Amino acid sequence: MQPSTEEYRYNMVIFDVGGTLLGLHERAPFQEFLASVGLPADDEHARNLHHRLIAAIAARRDAAQGLGADGRELDEWWRGNFVQARPDRSDLAEEMFRWLIQGRFDRPFDDTVPTLEALRKLGMPLAVISNFGTHLRGLLNKVDLLRYFEFVVVSAEVRLAKPDRRIFDLAVEQAGVPRHRLLYVGDHVGDDIEGAHGAGLDAVLIDRRDRHPEALCPRIHSLQDLVGYVQPPTQPARAIVFDMDGVLLDSMPAHLLTWQRTLAPLGIEMTADDLYPLEGIPTERTAQKLTEMFLEQPCSEEEARRLATAKRAMFREICNPSFVPGMVPLLYDLRGRGYRLGLVTGSARSVVDESLAPSGVAELFDAMVTGDQVSEGKPDPEPYCTAAARLGLPPSECLAIENAPLGIQSAKSAGMACVALETTLPAAKLPLADRVFTDAGGLRTWLLSPG
């Protein structure tokens, strides 16, 4: 039964096998192997052999990218791993390879069968694309997984290997649905994620041990996350709208320095305590507020524009903004899960483009609202109302991420829920926020937690 295109985000989930569904993660088979060849087979010796083999595989995995179109290539790669696992007994490599082909080392991960069962209960068709030898179907049958899949594409059989897009094209043809309605799940960024993306499929990295925290792709830590992943997101909102400075970019120190240098000729000596509560409002308005606060006299629009222009020029000269740790991976995670993403900032569009475009992050946003695109900046609700309209959603179905009081006020006045990060100000100075998080890690856990 094909899932309703309205009910789910995808019509089929396609899996990699090695490292995704199956792995060499249990030590018991290695005890059995050692005993079979007459070597000490206690837990310590099995653990040592297992550890050495896993280390060899990890060290040589990237060198295996693209292997598999010729099954002999993979066979030799595996033999090399076995030699490295016991270099003092290289004669064991062939016997270990025979055990591998017979499926005596591989075991399903703990989350494999529960996930396949849960997806099948949803009516979600499942399939496999794997860089593997011709023994794959026998292995899947041995561990009772073959029955879950509509089809299995094996590199050694079709003589094509990931990340070659042609092996994905074969699966698209067999699936019989548009490629953007297929989700690929794998454990290797090159073969699986980049390969699937190159063929026009969505993809998610299974990263059970959190080895790739900065990977620029969606990640899950358990296959069971896929049950929620294939469904349209609703909690905590359908769209997530980010402020830029102090939320995405660790740029507020540079803003402080350039404002200090811009205003110093006027005799103004300012600190972070003066600037950070104003963060989020357009640059010209910031110039007016700061000069009027310190000089206690009106600042004309012409003078504000002059100061803003000088400040922007100086900012471009000195600032090489870095991202707040963890925020870029979070954007990929949210985008991969189907959330619509927005950006609302008091900075000009030119500054946004210069700051975000080189990293590719700008492409992740469905809507951007900059300070020079609105009549009233933060704390007025206009910026966030405009973002919701561009996202095609009511503000009540959007969640704002802020770090400053005026931004929080703007989002809340627009009818959005708003949470904050303590990147520039402590929680005590962010009383209007619905929640406050110390860092992106806490925010990520909350945003991506089931339910």
Q: Which CATH superfamily is domain 12-20+107-229 in?
A: HAD superfamily/HAD-like (3.40.50.1000)
Q: What pLDDT does 27 receive?
A: 92
Q: What pLDDT does 450 receive?
A: 64
**Positive or negative CA dihedral for 76, 77, 78, 79?**
positive
Which SS3 state, helix, strand or coil, does residue 74 take? helix
Residues in the chain with pLDDT < 70? 1-6, 450-451
Q: What pLDDT does 355 receive?
A: 87
In order of 217, 326, 439, the CA distances from 330 in angstroms are 9, 6, 12
423 vs 327: CA distance, rounded Å: 12
Q: What pLDDT does 449 receive?
A: 82
Q: What pLDDT does 1 receive?
A: 43
The overall pTM is greater than 0.85 = yes
342 vs 143: CA distance, rounded Å: 44
Q: What pLDDT does 28 receive?
A: 94
Q: What pLDDT does 3 receive?
A: 47
Identify whether the C-beta of residue 237 lies closer than 8 Å to the C-beta of residue 418: no
**Does domain 239-249+323-448 match CATH 3.40.50.1000?**
yes
Q: What pLDDT does 5 receive?
A: 46
- Number of neighbouring beta carbons within 10 Å of residue 118: 15
List, in sequence order, the alpha helices (H) in 269-401.
272-275, 283-295, 301-318, 327-336, 349-356, 382-391
Q: Give the β-pairing of 417-421 and 398-402.
A: parallel
All residues at 6 or more sequence positions from 11 whose CB lies less than 8 Å from its CB, including other chains: 2, 3, 5, 125, 175, 177, 181, 182
388 vs 451: CA distance, rounded Å: 23
Q: Under CATH, to which class is 252-318 assigned?
A: mainly alpha
